[in-house]
A and B are shown apart, each in its own frame.
Chain A
Amino acid sequence: MGTPPKLTGAPPSSARGPAAGAPGAELLEGAITVLGLPEPEMVAALSSWPRERALDLFTAIAQLRAFDERAVILQRQGRIGTYPTFYGEEAVQVASVRALQNQDWLFPTYRQTAVATLRGCPPLVPLLMWRGHPGGWHDVMKYRVAPICVPVATNFPHAVGAAWGAKLRHQELVALAYGGDGSTSAGDFHEACNLAAVMGAPVIFLITNNQWAISTPVSRQTKVRRVAEKAAGYGMPGVRVDAFDVFACYQVVQEAAERARRGEGPTLIEAIGYRLGPHGTADEPSLYRDQIADRLWEPMEPVRRTRLALVAAGLASEEELNQILAEAAAELRDIGDAVESCSPASIQEIAGSVHRETPWELLPEGLWEPTWTGRGDAGGAP
Chain B
Amino acid sequence: MTLELNMVEAITRGLSQLLEEDPAALLLGEDIGANGGVFRATAGLQDRFGPERVIDTPLCEAGFVGAAIGMCLVGLHPVVEIQFDAFVYPAFEQLVSQAGRFRWRTGGAYGLPLVVRLPYGGGTRAPELHSDSPETLFSHVPGLRVVVPSDPRSAGELLLAASRCGDPVIFLEPKRMYRRGRQAVPPTFVEGDLDHAVVVRPGDDLTVIAYGAMLEVAEGAAERLAQEGVSTRVLDLRSIYPLDRESLLQAAEETGRVLVVHEAPRHCGIGAEVAALLQEEVADALLSPTLRVTGMDLPFPLSQNEDDALPSVERVLAAAHAMLEY
A169 & B69 in contact (Cβ 8 Å cutoff): no
Q: In the complex, what residue of chain B is closest to A156 when comparing beta carbons?
A: B66
Residue from A147, A162, A187 in contact with B70 in the complex, judged by beta carbons closer than 8 Å? A162
A164 & B71 in contact (Cβ 8 Å cutoff): yes
A154 interface residue, CB < 8 Å from B?
A: yes
Q: Which of A270-278, A281-289, A353-361 contacts B (4 or more CB under 8 A)?
A: A353-361
Chain B 101-125 per-residue mask, 1 if CB under 8 angstroms from chain A, else 0: 0111111111100000000000000
A168 & B52 in contact (Cβ 8 Å cutoff): yes
B75 interface residue, CB < 8 Å from A?
A: yes
B161 interface residue, CB < 8 Å from A?
A: no
Chain A 114-143 per-residue mask, 1 if CB under 8 angstroms from chain B, else 0: 000000000000000000001101111100
> A164 to B97, alpha carbons, bound, how many Å?
22
User: Smallest CB–CB gap between B270 and chain A, Å?
Assistant: 13
B167 & A168 in contact (Cβ 8 Å cutoff): no
Q: Which of B13-21, B221-229, B237-245 contacts A (4 or more CB under 8 A)?
A: B237-245
B323 interface residue, CB < 8 Å from A?
A: no
Q: Which residues of A lie under 8 Å from residue B325 when comparing CB positions? A: none
B142 interface residue, CB < 8 Å from A?
A: yes
Q: Known contacts being A165-B76, A376-B284, is A354 close to B66, with CB within 8 Å?
A: no
Residue from A139, A187, A192 in contact with B106 in the complex, judged by beta carbons closer than 8 Å? A139
Specify which of B65, B74, B166, B245 lies most central, judged by the most chain A CB atoms within 10 Å of its CB: B74
A361 & B63 in contact (Cβ 8 Å cutoff): no
> A361 to B142, alpha carbons, bound, how many Å?
10
B63 & A159 in contact (Cβ 8 Å cutoff): no
Q: Which of B36-44, B54-62, B174-182 contacts A (4 or more CB under 8 A)?
A: B54-62
B70 & A160 in contact (Cβ 8 Å cutoff): yes
B110 & A141 in contact (Cβ 8 Å cutoff): yes
| B-facing residues in A29-77 (Cβ within 8 Å) | none
> A119 to B208, alpha carbons, bound, how many Å?
56
Q: Which residues of A lie under 8 Å from residue B106 when comparing CB positions? A: 137-140, 147
A158 & B69 in contact (Cβ 8 Å cutoff): yes
Residue from B52, B60, B280 in contact with A194 in the complex, judged by beta carbons closer than 8 Å? B60
| B-facing residues in A328-370 (Cβ within 8 Å) | 350, 352-356, 359-361, 365-366, 370
Q: Which residues of A lie under 8 Å from residue B283 when comparing CB positions? A: 381
Chain A 289-319 per-residue mask, 1 if CB under 8 angstroms from chain B, else 0: 0000000000000000000000000000000
Residue from A138, A169, A350 in contact with B74 in the complex, judged by beta carbons closer than 8 Å? A169
Q: Known contacts being A165-B74, A169-B74, A359-B241, is A354 close to B69, with CB within 8 Å?
A: no
Q: Which residues of A lie under 8 Å from residue B165 when comparing CB positions? A: 356
A198 interface residue, CB < 8 Å from B?
A: yes
A154 & B103 in contact (Cβ 8 Å cutoff): no
Q: Which residues of B lie under 8 Å from residue A137 when comparing CB positions? A: 104-107
B66 & A157 in contact (Cβ 8 Å cutoff): yes
Q: Known contacts being A160-B66, A191-B60, is A134 close to B107, with CB within 8 Å?
A: yes
Q: In the complex, what residue of chain A is closest to B97 when comparing beta carbons?
A: A151
Q: In the complex, what residue of chain A is closest to B243 when comparing beta carbons?
A: A361
B94 interface residue, CB < 8 Å from A?
A: yes
A195 & B64 in contact (Cβ 8 Å cutoff): yes
User: Smallest CB–CB gap between B197 and chain A, Å?
Assistant: 13
A166 interface residue, CB < 8 Å from B?
A: yes
A171 interface residue, CB < 8 Å from B?
A: yes
Q: In the complex, what residue of chain A is closest to B143 when comparing beta carbons?
A: A354
Q: Which residues of A lie under 8 Å from residue B109 when comparing CB positions? A: 139-141
Q: Which residues of B lie under 8 Å from residue A350 when comparing CB positions? A: 104
Q: Which residues of B lie under 8 Å from residue A154 when comparing CB positions? A: 66, 93-94, 97-98
B58 & A198 in contact (Cβ 8 Å cutoff): yes
> A175 to B106, alpha carbons, bound, how many Å?
19
B108 & A158 in contact (Cβ 8 Å cutoff): no
Q: Known contacts being A188-B62, A191-B62, is A161 close to B94, with CB within 8 Å?
A: no
A381 & B282 in contact (Cβ 8 Å cutoff): yes
A360 & B75 in contact (Cβ 8 Å cutoff): no
> A370 to B279, alpha carbons, bound, how many Å?
12
A163 & B70 in contact (Cβ 8 Å cutoff): yes
Q: In the complex, what residue of chain B is closest to A201 when comparing beta carbons?
A: B67
Q: Which residues of B lie under 8 Å from residue A163 when comparing CB positions? A: 70
Q: In the complex, what residue of chain B is closest to A175 when comparing beta carbons?
A: B70
Residue from B58, B62, B75, B143 in contact with A169 in the complex, judged by beta carbons closer than 8 Å? B75
Specify which of B66, B69, B142, B281 lies most central, judged by the most chain A CB atoms within 10 Å of its CB: B66
> A173 to B70, alpha carbons, bound, how many Å?
13
> A171 to B76, alpha carbons, bound, how many Å?
12
Q: Which residues of B lie under 8 Å from residue A168 when comparing CB positions? A: 26, 52, 76
Q: Which residues of A lie under 8 Å from residue B167 when comparing CB positions? A: 355-356
Residue from A134, A194, A381 in contact with B284 in the complex, judged by beta carbons closer than 8 Å? A381
> A168 to B216, alpha carbons, bound, how many Å?
42
Q: Which residues of B lie under 8 Å from residue A353 when comparing CB positions? A: 103-104, 107-108
> Which 5 pairs across A and B sit closest by C-beta, in order of nearness?
A157-B66, A161-B70, A191-B63, A161-B67, A359-B242
Where the two chains meet, the residues of B that have a C-beta atom closer than 8 Å to any C-beta of A are 26, 52, 57-58, 60, 62-76, 78, 90, 93-94, 97-98, 102-111, 142-143, 145, 165-167, 241-243, 245, 280-284
30 intermolecular pairs with C-beta atoms under 8 Å apart: A107-B70, A135-B107, A137-B104, A137-B105, A146-B73, A154-B93, A157-B94, A158-B66, A160-B66, A164-B67, A165-B67, A165-B75, A168-B52, A169-B76, A188-B63, A188-B94, A191-B58, A191-B63, A195-B57, A195-B58, A195-B60, A198-B58, A350-B104, A353-B103, A355-B103, A356-B103, A356-B111, A361-B242, A366-B245, A376-B284
- Excluding A160-B66, A195-B67, 12 further A-B contacts by CB distance (< 8 Å) are A107-B70, A138-B107, A139-B106, A140-B73, A140-B106, A141-B110, A160-B67, A162-B73, A165-B71, A168-B52, A187-B62, A354-B143
